[in-house]
Structure 1
Amino acid sequence: MKSFWLASLLMTLLADKPAYLVYDRQLKTSNYEALLRQAGQADVVLFGELHNNPVCHWLQHELAADLLAGGKKVVLGAEMFEADNQLVLDEYVNGTITAQQLEAEAKVWPNFKTDYKPLVDLARENHLAFVATNIPRRYASLVAKKGPGELETLSPEARKSIAPLPVEVDLQLPGYAAMLKMGGPHGSATSGENMARAQAIKDATMAYFILRNKKDNAVFLHFNGSYHSDHFEGISWYLRKANPALRIVTIATTEERDIAAPVEAKPGLADFVLTVPESMTKTH
């Protein structure tokens, strides 16, 4: 009877189709509990998502909720909200305005209702700060088209939504270097450099607003595209440059044909890597 029960259990496990697996920095098998434990000890957690992946958005919500349930103080922030929309975001989180008003007045993403509203609502329900960390897209577009010098022409009021100028950009970092190789819309070196600098301005601005809103003895849980923090570059690079002692945990996400034998995920991609089946349905 015992052997039959064990055989049945084994068959059940083998037949299971997990929605994700967790790996550590060396790409060794890990789990959500280890991720949660390290996140709870961090100053900043950079949760790198694939924007249309439902597993990412579910785990973001679960991680925030579990940190709170474990007694941690939490501040939330996201790439998906631009810094000049902080007031309207605050008004929603504080209960002053409705969700409809937030959607009408903030530049919310097309998948806001399904993917990001649950995170903002978690902040609203638990009286948490939710920080809009990204540079306004019109300014990032300005850099991509004309170069970073154009930011110097902006008004002092406009510059409040950007990391302090001038922003240092290391185009030797692999992520930015890869953008240089790709080039811009016309394949020119200049347009490629502007694209890389626009990406760096985004990363620097998100790091700036994370640091400005970080609270002592609290975990700042930040949601961003995985490419903004993969390989400990991007946002992470700017955070460490400003404060080398900062305890940062990074999470990356990859889609894989076989999540038990990942190909896209590589050692050194992040502190934790979520592998998700490439057949996973998309949110938009």
Structure 2
Amino acid sequence: MIKLSLALLITVGVLIGSGCALTQPHSSSSWSAPATLYESLVIDTNSRQPVSLEETVKTLSKADVVVIGEYHGHQASHLLQTRVLHLLHALNPHIILSMEHFNLDHQDDLDDYLAGHTGEAEMIKDANAWNHYRGSYRPMVEYARNHKLPVIAANAPAQTVRCVGRVGPDYINELPEDQRQRLPAQPFLDTPAYREKFIGAISGSHGSNDPAISERMANIYKAQLLRDNTMASRILQARNNNPEHQILHVTGTFHSEEKLGTVALLQKRAPALSVAVLSPVFWAADQASPPLAEHWGKGDFLYLIQPLPPEFRDHDRRQKAMKERFKGRSNTDCDVE
């Protein structure tokens, strides 16, 4: 009898270790943290337990739109996005990839590359691809190109965004008709929770009583809304034109976590659309367990990743680098002829 009980215990232990149906809840203190910057641990926020990427994708495959938030340039985010694209495509051949990282006015340049009319270096220049395109977004675009999947340049034109942030939302009224027609009909559609989150993240309480700063902040927020509304409209347009297709949208996590930003505006425009969100959470190596208490509401799934190393420790060098990084933007000409 004792031998039988031991055998049963061993069998149950094997099933639990392999993630089978008998798996019991585990404390987060027993989870294994990502060992490298490429790895991630996916958590189902409903069960609050780790799940395999394959099981995650089975759930995601039921949504009309899947949104994966990222920390730009983080290897784990981009590896996860590429793997989800591959696994979703294996379940459904009708997939459209939508990307924040290309602006809608460069859709033709992106399409030319996907069709084989231009090379990668030409596309990077013509489509004004992000500086770290090769290290971050190349795998997703190449998967789409090799499998003839559409890729949507989802973001608003960079010039328009910058000028709205500088001179205000009326800038759009001065654009030529063809440029205005590309933008969403309601480019500054809003949700109160997102406004509160954005202003808190950018300014906190500093300068809230200064009219000049408040106006500048309002314009910056309108520029943010233009991005989010444009991405939501581009996703919805792709879905309406291809109702049998699932959309996978990849974007900075601020645009999607807590189902705010692009996600909230997408659902405001199309309430019947089902949208699933994956959001990243940093788990530092010196933390015994992930700090999840404040993050459960960020998405249907969380994926835990290592923090990136700090760019700067010297404040003055950081300030100088930031000024250099945004120097070109300060020279933007917002006069419309």
Which TM-score applies when normalising by structure 1?
0.87
1:202 maps onto 2:231 in alignment: no
Deviations 1:3-58 (A, max 9, x none): xxx9xx9xxx9798373211223581232233201221111111100112101111
Match of 1:28 in 2: 48
The equivalent of 2:269 in structure 1 is: 242
Q: Does 1:90 align with 2:90?
A: no
2: distance between equivalents of 1:67 and 1:134? 23
Q: Judge which range, 213-222 or 130-139, deviates more.
A: 213-222
Letter of the 1:272 counterpart: F
Q: Structure 1: which 5+ runs fail to align?
A: none
Which residue of 2 is the match for residue 193 of structure 1?
218
Is this contact kept in 1: 2:33–2:41, CA < 8 A?
no
In structure 2, the partner of 1:261 is 290
Which residue of structure 2 lines up, in the alignment, with residue 77 of structure 1? 98
Query: What is the SS of the residue equivalent to 1:57?
Result: helix
From 216, 221, 245, the counterpart of 2:248: 221
Deviates more, 1:236-245 or 1:252-261: 252-261
Distance 1:188 1:71 in 2: 49
Post-superposition shift, 1:279? 5.3
Q: Counterpart of 1:232?
A: 259
**Match among 175, 183, 194 for residue 162 of structure 1:** 183
Verify the 8 A CA contact 1:259 1:277 in the aligned structure 2: no
Letter in 2 for 1:36: V
Contact preservation (8 Å) 1:179, 1:193: no
TM-score normalised by structure 2 residue count: 0.74
Aligned residues: 276
Match of 2:302 in 1: 273
Deviations 1:64-110 (A, max 9, x none): 11111223410001000000000010011111111121012111111
Structure 2: stretches of 5+ with no match in the other structure: 1-6, 8-12, 18-30, 312-337
Where in structure 2 are the equivalents of 1:110-121 lying within 5 Å? 110-121=131-142
Q: Give the Å deviation of 1:120.
A: 1.1
**Which amino acid counterpart does residue 17 of structure 1 have in structure 2?**
A
Q: In structure 2, how many angstroms separate the alpha carbons of the residues matched to 1:177 and 1:256?
A: 26
Equivalent residue letter for 1:218: H
For 2:271 and 2:155, the matched residues in 1 are separated by 22
Q: Residues 65 and 154 (structure 1 numbering): CA distance in 2 closer, same or farther, change over 3 Å?
A: same
Paired residues of 1:78 and 1:131 also in contact (CA < 8 A): yes
Shift of the 51–44 alpha-carbon distance from structure 1 to 2, 3 Å rule, reads same
Report the equivalent of 1:41: 62
Report deviation, 1:193.
1.3
Tell me the alpha carbon deviations over residues 228-263 of structure 1, each in whole angstroms, 9 at most, x when there is no partner. 011111011111111111010011112221484225
> Mean Cα displacement is larger for which, 81-90 or 100-109?
100-109
Larger radius of gyration: 2
Matched AA of 2:227: K
Q: Cα–Cα, structure 1 residues 255 and 166, in superposed 2: closer, same or farther, change >3 Å?
A: closer
